[in-house]
Amino acid sequence: MAQKKPAGNGPYDAIIVGAGIAGCTLAWELARRGIRPVVLEQNWIAAESSGRNTGTLLGGPQTEVVELLDACAAIYEELADGPVPFEFARIGQLLVSATDEALERGAEIPGRMETVGHRVERVSGETLARDHPRLKLNVAGGFFVDRAWTLEPMGATHAFAHAAREAGAEFRTGCRVVQVHSRGGKVEGVLTDDGIIAADMVFLANGGWTGELMRRVVGDGPLPALPFTAGRGWLIQFGPLGFDLPWIMEELTWPDQEELGRRMALGRLSDVADQCDDLPAVEALCLNPMRGGDARMGASIQPAFRDLVRNTDMPARIAGRAMRLIGAMEGPRVQNVYPGNRPMVSDGLPVAGRSPIEGLYIHGGMGSIGMHAAPATARWLAEAVVSGDGNPGKPWLVPGRFPGWA
Ligand SMILES: Cc1cc2nc3c(=O)[nH]c(=O)nc-3n(C[C@H](O)[C@H](O)[C@H](O)COP(=O)(O)OP(=O)(O)OC[C@H]3O[C@@H](n4cnc5c(N)ncnc54)[C@H](O)[C@@H]3O)c2cc1C
C-alpha cells in the first residue's frame, strides 16, 4: 500500500471532524496508509445518524448505488470477524406494494434495478401469503432482489474506529470544532473549544453540520457553498421479533437517490412556506430483521430544519402502515422510537474530494445511504489523497460536480 507522510509541525498529519461512519471509515483508511489522523467529535462516536439508522445496505436502480453497495459489502467483510461485532450478514430483499395499482406504478424501480445488474424476481401476494403464513402479509405482490446486507450501525461505526486506533489514529470526543483556519490558500488546522490544533490536512466529515463548518473556514474562506440539506427520518426499534423474517422488507414507494435529493432541497422561502408536517416527502415501510434477533423499522423522509424535531406523527403513520402490511408486526415489543437526520446534497449521492483550499477535503452528504456508501467513499478518497490529486476518479462523487467547485 502507498505510504505518504506530509511534513507537518504538530503531532497529527490530518484532522478529521466528526466520528460518524464518514469520519471513522476515513480515519482507518488514512491511518493504514501511514497518515496519522486525529478525529475530533463534539459528542461521542456514532452519536448522530450513524448510531441511529435502520442498518440496511440495499440495492437500487442507479449504477453508482450498486457500485457503492458491492464495494462496501466487501470492505465490511474485512472487519466482520474482527474484535468489534456488528452483526453483518447477507440477506434477501423483498420490495412490496399494498395494492395492485401501487405495484404496477412501482414496478418501474425493480425494472431499472435489473438494468444495473440486480437479479429481480416477481412474486404474487397469494404466493407470499401461502409460503409465509406466520407473517400475516397483506400485500398485492412484490419483487425479490438478489443482494442486500444487514448490520448493526453503532457497532459497525465502532468497528472502523477501533481498526483506525489500531492503525495509529487518535480520537478526541467531547471536542467541538468551531472553525477551520487557512492562509495563503493552504489549510493550517482548526480551532476547537479546547484551543487550536494544527495539521496540514483537514477533512470535514461532520454530517449534517458540514455546510455550517464550510461557512466557518476563515483566512481564505468561506468555501463556496454545497447544496447541503437534511432529511429527517423516524425509526422504531423492536425487541425480539419472535418469528423468522428472511428478507429486509421495503415498500416500493421509496424513490431513487436523485429523486430523494430533489425532494429534500430547501431552496427559497417558498420551499419553507410549503413545509407541512402532514405531507411527508416519502413514506415507505422498511423493516430490517437484525441478526441479533431484534429489528428496526422506518422509514420516512422530510426536509429538516436541522435542530428542530418536526413530523412527530411519523412513528404513528409508520406503525399503522406496518400493521396493515404485515399483521405479525402487532406482536413484537417496541423498545424505542427516535428521529434522525440524513446529511444530504441535492443529487442524493455522497461528496468526497478536495476543496479549493490545499489540504482541505470534504467527506459527506451521505444521505440515506451512509452505511452503504462511506466505507467505499473513504477508501477512494484516501487513495486519491495519498497518490492522486485528492479527487477520487469518479465524477459523480467529487465536489467539483457542483457549481463554483470545478
Ligand atoms: C432514520 C434513518 C434511517 C437510515 N437508514 C439507513 C440505512 O438503513 N442504511 C444506510 O446506509 N443509511 C441509513 N441512514 C443514513 C445514515 O445514517 C447516514 O447517511 C450516515 O449515518 C451519515 O454519517 P456521517 O458520518 O456523515 O454523519 P453523522 O453520523 O451524523 O456523524 C457526524 C458527526 O459529526 C459530529 N460533528 C458535527 N459537527 C461537529 C463539529 N463542529 N465538531 C466536532 N464534531 C462535529 C456530530 O456530532 C456527529 O457525530 C439512515 C438515516 C436515518 C436518519
Q: What's the CA-to-centroid distance between 54 and ligand 1, angstroms?
A: 12
Q: What's the whole-number average pLDDT of the chain?
A: 93
Q: Flag whether pLDDT at 4 surpasses 60.
A: no
pLDDT at 311: 80
The pTM (predicted TM-score) of the whole model is 0.95
pLDDT of 286 reads 95
Which backbone phi and psi does 75 adopt, to 5 degrees? Answer: -70, -40
Which of 306, 298, 270 minimizes the C-alpha distance to 282? 298
Peptide bond into 299 cis (omega under 30): yes
Q: Which range (6-20, 50-64, 389-403) has the least confidence?
A: 6-20
H/E element holding 351? strand 351-354
Mean pLDDT across 66-81:
98
Q: For residue range 132-180, what is the model confidence (pLDDT) as tens digits?
A: 999 999 999 999 999 999 999 999 999 999 999 999 999 999 999 999 9
- Does 255 sit in the ligand 1 pocket, CB within 6 Å? no
What number is the average pLDDT over the span 69-78?
Answer: 98
> Does the pLDDT at position 283 exceed 90?
no
Q: What per-residue confidence (pLDDT) applies to 404?
A: 85
| pLDDT at residue 5, as a whole number | 45
The residue-averaged pLDDT of 214-229 equals: 91
Do you know the residue count of the chain?
Answer: 406
Ligand 1 within 6 A of CB of 359: no
**Full 3-state SS string of the chain:** CCCCCCCCCCCCCEEEECCCHHHHHHHHHHHCCCCCEEEEECCCCCCCHHHCCCCEECCCCCHHHHHHHHHHHHHHHHHHCCCCCCCCEEEEEEEEECCHHHHHHHCHHHHHHHHCCCCEEEEEHHHHHHHCHHHCECCCEEEEEEEEEECCHHHHHHHHHHHHHHCCCEEEECCCEEEEEEECCEEEEEEECCEEEECCEEEECCHHHHHHHHHCEECCCCCCCCCEEEEEEEEEEECCCCCCCCEEEEECCCCCHHHHHHHHCCCCHHHHHCCCCCCCCEEEEEEEECCCCCEEEEEEEEECCCCCCCCCCHHHHHHHHHHHHEHHHHCCCEEEEEEEEEEEECCCCCEEEECCCECEEEEECCHHHHHHHHHHHHHHHHHHHHHCCCCCCCCCCCHHHCCCCC
- Does residue 35 have a pLDDT over 90? yes
Q: Give the distance (Å) from ligand 1 centre to CA of residue 264.
A: 16
Predicted confidence (pLDDT) at residue 394 exceeds the cutoff of 70: yes
Confidence of residue 9 (pLDDT cuts 50, 70, 90): low
Extract the runs of DSSP E, i.e. beta strands, from 42-151.
56-57, 89-97, 120-124, 141-150
> Using a 6 Å cutoff on CB, does residue 50 contact ligand 1?
yes
Q: Kindly report the protein residue whose alpha carbon is nearest to atom 9 of ligand 1.
A: 56
Residue nearest to atom 17 of ligand 1 (CA): 49
* Residue 306, pLDDT score: 66
Task: Specify whether the CB–CB gap between 256 and 60 falls below 8 A.
Answer: yes
Q: If you average pLDDT over residues 45-67, what whole number do you get?
A: 96
Q: What is the pLDDT of residues 76-117, one digit of tens each?
A: 999 999 999 999 999 999 999 999 999 999 999 999 999 999
The pLDDT of 260-268, averaged and rounded, is 81
Ligand 1 binding pocket includes 150 (Cβ within 6 Å): no
Asked if the model's pLDDT at residue 189 lies above 90, the reply is yes
Taking 70 as the threshold, does the pLDDT of residue 1 lie above it? no
Using one digit for the tens of pLDDT, what is the confidence trace for 354-387? 999 999 999 999 999 999 999 999 999 999 999 9
pLDDT exceeds cutoff 60 at 3: no
pLDDT at 6: 45
Q: What percent of the chain has pLDDT over 70?
A: 97
The answer to whether 99 and 140 have CB atoms below 8 angstroms apart is yes
Smallest CA separation from ligand 1 atom 21, residue: 50
Domains and CATH numbers, the chain: 14-50+155-227+347-401 (3.50.50.60), 93-148+229-342 (3.30.9.10)
C-alpha cell at 338: 427516535
Q: Rounded CA gap, 311 and 235, in Å?
A: 12
**pLDDT score for 359:** 97
- Best residue among 15, 50, 176, 257 to mutate for probing ligand 1's pocket (most ligand atoms within 8 Å of CB) is 50
C-beta of 25 in contact with ligand 1 (< 6 A): no
Q: Is the pLDDT of residue 406 over 80?
A: no
